[in-house]
Structures are given as C-alpha cells and as structure tokens.
Structure 1
Amino acid sequence: MLTRQALDSGAYLEKFRSLPNLWTSERIEASLAETLKEQPACVNNDVWIFAYGSLMWNPMVDFDRRDVATLHEWHRSFCLSMTIGRGSPERPGRMLALEAGGHTTGLALRLTPNTMREDLKAVWIREMVLGSYRPTWAPVTLECGIHTHAIAFVANTAGEQYRTDSCISAVAPLIAAATGQIGSNAEYVFRLYDSLSQCGLHDRYIEALAGELKRLRQHPHHDSQGAPNATA
C-alpha cells in the first residue's frame, strides 16, 4: 500500500521516472498554488478534500473533520489508462477519476490548519504526478446539510491517459487482467466497494463493476487476442 513516507521522500515519484511527460516537483507545486488561489470565498479558510477512491481508505493526511458527503456535477469513471502501479505496459489497467455530470457520494475531509500545506503537497504528488487529473473546487453537501466546496481531482480529458469508453463491458476485462507494483487493479475496485459499503453508501457503477469482476474471476475467458485474461 502507498505510504506517506514514499510521498515525502520522493520514492513515489521515482517509480514514474521511466514514463514520458512526468510532472516535475516545480510543476506540481505551481498547480497547487494556482488551485489555492482559486479557492471560493464562500468556504472561508477551510480546505476540504473530496475522497471518492483510495483517499477513502488511505487518506494519508491529517484532518479534523470527516463527513459523508455528496459531490455535485461529477460522477465516478474508470476513464484513465494505467501502465504502472496497478497496471503494466503489457496489460494496462484503468484508474478511477471523475467525469462531468450526475453526482458522487464519498467522504469530505477537512484538513487540519497546522499541517494543511504539507498535506496538500503530499496529495498533489500522489494525484498529479502525470497530470492525469485536474484539481477542481466542486460543490459538496455534507450529510448534516451544510453546503461548501471541496477540492476534487477530476479527469483531465485533454491528457494522454484519458479514455472515452469507461462502460463496464469495456473496463472490466482490462481491470481483471491488470496488476503492478502496488497490487492488482481488481483489488482497488473491491477495496472501493467495501469502503462505500462501510459508510452506508452506494454507487451503481462501482457495484456493477465489482459484480462483473467477480464473474470474470469465476469464469475466466479469452480476450480478443486469444490470450486468457488474468483473474488478479
């Protein structure tokens, strides 16, 4: 599992050195600074991060409040191609992102003021190493009814990793076959499914994808090239 030490020490960035278009530390810092300048005035000085994927079970940041929340105007989508981490060049997987439209339920994390800057830098290194995401201040509604804005990492649709087809039939075989240094792609989906369930949340897309991955494990089949899909 990814650790905060790997982010702070530079070991995480080092894993991506072989890939083209790797973001430098300076570019990552500039993106963070630009995003903070765009913070809506209505949120006062609070900085919330919206967790919809691995940040739900492995946030690696200090926060003083954690609320179930609904993110408006965006929905989950495995629309980013992945060749490292939980995938490989031979069997690329898919990373989770957000695409425009609909809504998403997840967790809103309010960062602790004393460590906010260091935590944000760690989050930016984690998410922006390849520029696959676009950090966005998006409207969220906390479970208690409070309306605010949170930083959400949405898909960079102009990036090289973006793929237009993220339907279950397209991504499930890829995810079932993909594995990498961090673990299997399917494991990520199951961890997300469990995290949502533990919070009493439901996402039809994730539930359908987890169900299809379980089916593929039970009934492995051949891909279009005739090679058997891995069951991860």
Structure 2
Amino acid sequence: MLTRDFLQKADCGTSFGCIEENLLLTPSQRADSLNQTLSRRPDSPVWVFGYGSLMWNPVFTPEEARLATLSGWQRAFCLRLTAGRGTATQPGRMLALTPGGKTTGMAFRLPEASLREDLELLWKREMITGCYRPEWCDLHCHSGETLTALVFVSQEQHPLIEADTCIHRVAPLIARASGPLGTNAQYLFALEEALKKHGMADECLTALAQRVRELQEQAKQAHPQQGDWWGV
C-alpha cells in the first residue's frame, strides 16, 4: 500500500517495478507539468478529484472532503499496467477516465500550507509515465455546490492506453497481475468496497469484480499451490 513516506523516498525508476525508460518522466518533466497545471489554477482553493485509490488512500490530509460527480468522463480499466501492481511479462490493467458518461467520486480540498508538497507527491504518484493528463474540471457536489477540481484523465495517445476494455479481456489480466505494490485484484476489490461505502452504484465495476473472483476461484481449484500468485 502506498504511504506518504514511501512516495517521499521512492525512486520512480525502481520503486514501483521495472518501467521502460522511454516511458518514464524525469523529475524535471514532472515539475514542469505541475508548474504548467498550477499556472492554470482557478482563483479558489485547490480541490483534487479522487475516483480510484485516492478515494480510500489519498496520502495527503485534506481539509475537507465531499461526494461529487464529474460529467463527461467515465471510469475504464484502459491502462496497461506494467509496474506497481503488474509487470511487463504479466501486465494488468489500471483505472483512468475516458470520454463519455459521468463519474462519482470524492473531492478533497488541499491545505494551502502544504499545497506544494502535497501536489509534488501526487505528481510522483500519478505522473510517473505521463499516462494521465491533469485538467481543471467542474464537479457537482452532492450537497448542491459546484466546484473546480484537479482531475487526472487519460492521455489518449499514450502508448500504455488500451482500446479494448471489455470485461472478458480485462478480467483475466486483473485476476493474474501482481507487482511490488500488491495485486491488481486487490486494487479492484478496494475500489468496489469504497464505492459501496459511499453509496455509489457502478454495475459495470461490480460485474468486473465478480468475474475476477470467479477466475481466481477457478485457478485456485485447478492449481491450489499457486493461490498466492493469483492474489487469493
């Protein structure tokens, strides 16, 4: 599990697993991306939209958290996962936002006093390969307000983007993949639990999680000695 201490000490080229050098952003490139994003910052507190692991493990301490919905973007396991919870030889799939639909998640307001440090760690977490694109987007809070938040959406032309996100293609990959941060399935199940906790219905994600469980159970019965390899 990612922690603040891990991110502060992590070497992006090795701590998350083996990442192809041509995909790895340099510290300078990450800093430039952060500076360019902050140059477009709205005249308001900085909010960050969590739609994946940020929902249950933001690593920063927010001053406020709200349930919110982003229109025009939808969850999809569209990123080929070769580090973190997967490897190049046994890739998994990671979550991103693709155009269309809407996504309900958590909006976190960052404290101004630690803003730069929090964002640098966030960039170290999300922008290792540049497969996401940081955008300022309007969110509709469930309490009725509208706010502008930082959202990491998919970088559509990135080489790690996969077009086929159907359950029959993605489930076997997630069921098998693992890496230095744990298994791909653990991530999916944690996301499923977080959505349930906050009353956010996502039938497609629930169906994906169920299919992954079925595949893991089948593998466990066929090869019980490999249960840990399947993340069960």
Determine whether 1:8 maps to 2:8.
yes
Map residues 130-145 of structure 1 onto 2, 5 A cutoff: 130-145=129-144
CA distance in 2, matches of 1:6, 1:17: 17
Pairs aligned (count)? 221
SS at match of 2:63: strand
Identity %, equivalent residues = 42
Larger deviation: 9-18 or 156-165?
9-18
Aligned Cα RMSD in Å? 1.6
- Write out the 4+ residue segments of structure 1 that deviate beyond 3 Å after TM superposition: 10-14
The one-letter amino acid of 2:10's match is G
Determine whether 1:19 maps to 2:20.
yes
CA distance in 1, matches of 2:159, 2:19: 15
CA distance in 2, matches of 1:36, 1:72: 22
In the TM superposition, residue 176 of structure 1 has moved relative to its aligned partner by: 0.5
Map residues 63-212 of structure 1 onto 2, 5 A cutoff: 63-212=62-211
Structure 2's unaligned 5+ residue stretches are: 221-228
In the TM superposition, residue 118 of structure 1 has moved relative to its aligned partner by: 0.7
Larger deviation: 4-13 or 170-179?
4-13
Larger deviation: 6-15 or 104-113?
6-15
SS at match of 2:182: coil
In the TM superposition, residue 136 of structure 1 has moved relative to its aligned partner by: 1.0
In the TM superposition, residue 8 of structure 1 has moved relative to its aligned partner by: 1.4
CA distance in 2, matches of 1:94, 1:134: 18
> Contact 2:13 / 2:19 at 8 angstroms: preserved in 1?
no
TM-score (norm 2): 0.90
| Cα distance change, pair 94–112 in 1 and its aligned pair in 2 (3 A) | same
> Contact 1:65 / 1:110 at 8 angstroms: preserved in 2?
yes
The one-letter amino acid of 1:23's match is L
CA distance in 2, matches of 1:17, 1:216: 27
TM-score (norm 1): 0.90
